[in-house]
Structure 1
Amino acid sequence: MQRSFAVDNSRFLASNVQPAPFCTKEINLLLAQILDTRPTTLYVRNSAQFGLVDVSAPLLSSAPLHRLAAYLAEKNGCEKNERVKKTGDVETVQYFQGIGLVDDFYLSLVSWSSKYNRRAVALGPNLYFWGGSSDGIDELKLEKYQLGHITCISYSRRDILLVCTARSYVVVYSQLLQKIVATTYLAGAYICCAEWLGNTNNVFAGNDKGTVYCLQVSEREIVVRRRIEFHQQQICGLALNQAMTTLAVGSNDNKCSLWDISNLALPVHQFTLNHSAAVKALAFCPWSPGLLASGGGRKDRTIRFWHTRTGTLVRQIPTDYQITSLVWCRSRREFAAILGAGRTGSSTDILRIYTYPGLNCKRQASAKTNLRAVSSAVSPDGNSMCAAFSDSTIRGYNLWNPAQRELREAGDYGSSILNAVEKSWGIAPGIR
């Protein structure tokens, strides 16, 4: 059953006001009851300045959501990394405190609906939704079905939310009907990541054994159309180009494979791209179709750029962090890197925005302590994102101003030959 919880804006405090102490017997009893529970919840505070949420003042918290327990306060630091030249900060405009988030780099626990502009986060075995037309937070409890904790969630461009669990179940949740409409069991493994094939009911899903499924999903059933058996370890990331003809698959075997999926019934392997650690972060460039960015894990910490029509490595930039996800700007020659665990002694950056092809860090978001991003999702317009972190917080960022457009001619591939190859494919002159 789905429950909604309204947010009481009148209870928010200014940043210079300390929370009042709890002194009544009723409040003390309430606190005692809460301390004896195992809440899986979110804390939220609206912001009049942004129309969303920020962290400049203490947060209203409830644990569970229908009980007011305490006010929490957090203020992000902006410690600089002297090794990277930066020109500004990316401000946190949304902040939730979750309890029960599974701190696992290989899972996909956040998704953003392009149809309803709803965000979802998986906390243990349950789901929480916010945004869109709802003023509060909606809760979908799956723990009663004993499916295990959630390992992957992914919104389609239509009505469907795909939910995958640690006990190998795949669940289809209808946003319109607000109920589960189909389930299936994929024996022997669980799904870690998923990528929908455009505006269709087909979705690619990678499991913890190295298999990629092509699933056909409807409100009646889930059908396995095709399996791709190539990687030897867990599938960490999936990405599709804009034409929906090339699939990139990242794995814990330190490889990314590229597949021609023009014929879904017969995917054709094209290239294998090597890293030195797991490959979770994958993103095709929206204004340069043959360009793929990939990010490596803890023993790699490098962002690489590939010409996908030839499998050529064209650029790379080392970082001090494992790379959780990558997001290309649709209107500027920039990209964002959402960061995982850093090296000992590194700065506390959790997000950086770089130029391309210059690879200069322009802006960043930092935290007071070392955090790693576990999972992230991008807004429908591509200008904002939200990410779940190892401290169970879910933070939102406005990455780019959609009114600013600066797409200009640039050597995207670091080679006149490769640039000529791309132009021969008919790249739109208004973009290049």
Structure 2
Amino acid sequence: MDGRIINHDVRIPSHIVGAYSGHRQEVCGLKWSPSGQQLASGGTDNLLHIWDRRSMASVNGPTHYLHRLEDHAAAVKSIAWCPFQANLLASGSDDGIKFWNTRTGACLNSVDTGSEVCSLLWNNNERELLSSHGSPHNQLTLWKYPSMVKMVELTGHSSRVLFMAQSPDGCTVASAAGNDALRFWNVFGPVATAARAAPPFEPFAHRILIR
């Protein structure tokens, strides 16, 4: 809530090992890069910060970000590092999806999604990006990267799709909505990839309601 990011090392008793300070409001998105060398943070101040792990300071010490990215017009809630291209980051907000070169800080592309972007997930096997959304459709949208051609929309949730996670084998995506519903989608697996080549594509989904 205070805009600070605290880094913990859970392997040691004195687990608070450092901090980053730079956001002016609540931090609502965090994601380490695959290399573990950079941290991306998004806030309700509409800012996206890129931090170098080596710049982490003591809890009360000064810190300095690599980049302060100010292009978003709403809170930056969703962040996803690209698994197949170094220094490529996707971020989502109410104003759509943006792509960044985290080495230079340049905005590479911006896509108007037409609704709030709640979560982003890269396909580990193909050059695809999955986004989850709020109203009016509460859908998941699969995009082809880098053209950002919309491949398919996955519907079935009746509330904002707040979070997505990919299975260890990279084939199944679990989506969680604000009404406690979970859905499991066969959207990234070999069967789904083959089906997209011969539309219409109908992703298989299970639905679970948690109470």
Pick from 275, 278, 283 the counterpart of residue 75 of structure 2.
Answer: 278
Contact 1:376 1:386 (C-alpha < 8 Å) held by counterparts: yes
Question: In the alignment, does 2:86 pair up with 1:289?
Answer: yes
1:359 corresponds to which letter in structure 2?
A: M
1:328 corresponds to which letter in structure 2?
A: W
1:373 is aligned to 161
Distance in 2 between residues matched to 1:259 and 1:381, nearest whole Å: 30
Question: In the alignment, does 2:147 pair up with 1:358?
Answer: yes
1:211 is aligned to 4
Q: How does 1:386-425 map onto structure 2 within 5 Å?
A: 386-402=174-190
Contact 2:27 2:42 (C-alpha < 8 Å) held by counterparts: yes
Compute the displacement of 1:373 (Å). 1.3
Q: How does 1:192-271 map onto structure 2 within 5 Å?
A: 208-218=1-11, 221=13, 223-262=15-54, 264-265=56-57, 268-271=64-67
From the CA coordinates, give the structure whose radius of gyration is larger: 1
Question: In the alignment, does 2:105 pair up with 1:308?
Answer: no
**Secondary structure of the residue that 1:363 maps to in structure 2?**
strand
Compute the displacement of 1:350 (Å). 1.3
Contact 1:233 1:251 (C-alpha < 8 Å) held by counterparts: yes
Contact 1:303 1:316 (C-alpha < 8 Å) held by counterparts: yes
C-alpha offsets along residues 86-141 of structure 1, whole Å, 9 cap, x if unaligned?
xxxxxxxxxxxxxxxxxxxxxxxxxxxxxxxxxxxxxxxxxxxxxxxxxxxxxxxx
Distance in 2 between residues matched to 1:378 and 1:271, nearest whole Å: 28
Contact 2:139 2:157 (C-alpha < 8 Å) held by counterparts: no
Contact 1:325 1:337 (C-alpha < 8 Å) held by counterparts: yes
Distance in 2 between residues matched to 1:268 and 1:383, nearest whole Å: 38
TM-score, reference length from structure 1: 0.41
Q: How does 1:61-72 map onto structure 2 within 5 Å?
A: none
Compute the displacement of 1:359 (Å). 0.6
Distance in 1 between residues matched to 2:98 and 2:31, nearest whole Å: 15
The aligned length equals 188
* Structure 2: gaps of 5 or more residues: 195-211
Compute the displacement of 1:402 (Å). 4.7
Distance in 1 between residues matched to 2:55 and 2:46, nearest whole Å: 27
Distance in 1 between residues matched to 2:157 and 2:164, nearest whole Å: 20
Compute the displacement of 1:269 (Å). 1.0
**Secondary structure of the residue that 1:306 maps to in structure 2?**
strand
Distance in 1 between residues matched to 2:190 and 2:30, nearest whole Å: 26
Structure 1 pair 400–227 and aligned structure 2 pair: CA distance change class (3 A): same
C-alpha offsets along residues 201-253 of structure 1, whole Å, 9 cap, x if unaligned?
xxxxxxx22110001113x7462111111101111111122211111001111
Distance in 1 between residues matched to 2:126 and 2:189, nearest whole Å: 10
2:165 corresponds to which letter in structure 1?
A: A
C-alpha offsets along residues 142-167 of structure 1, whole Å, 9 cap, x if unaligned?
xxxxxxxxxxxxxxxxxxxxxxxxxx
Question: In the alignment, does 2:114 pair up with 1:325?
Answer: no
* Structure 1: gaps of 5 or more residues: 1-207, 343-347, 406-432
Higher relative contact order (CA 8 A, sep 6+): 1
Distance in 1 between residues matched to 2:133 and 2:123, nearest whole Å: 17
TM-score, reference length from structure 2: 0.81
Pick from 365, 381, 384 the counterpart of residue 172 of structure 2.
Answer: 384
Distance in 1 between residues matched to 2:169 and 2:134, nearest whole Å: 24
Distance in 2 between residues matched to 1:265 and 1:272, nearest whole Å: 18
Distance in 2 between residues matched to 1:305 and 1:365, nearest whole Å: 22
Contact 1:383 1:402 (C-alpha < 8 Å) held by counterparts: yes
Q: How does 1:115-134 map onto structure 2 within 5 Å?
A: none
Structure 1 pair 243–365 and aligned structure 2 pair: CA distance change class (3 A): same
**Secondary structure of the residue that 1:259 maps to in structure 2?**
strand
1:240 corresponds to which letter in structure 2?
A: W
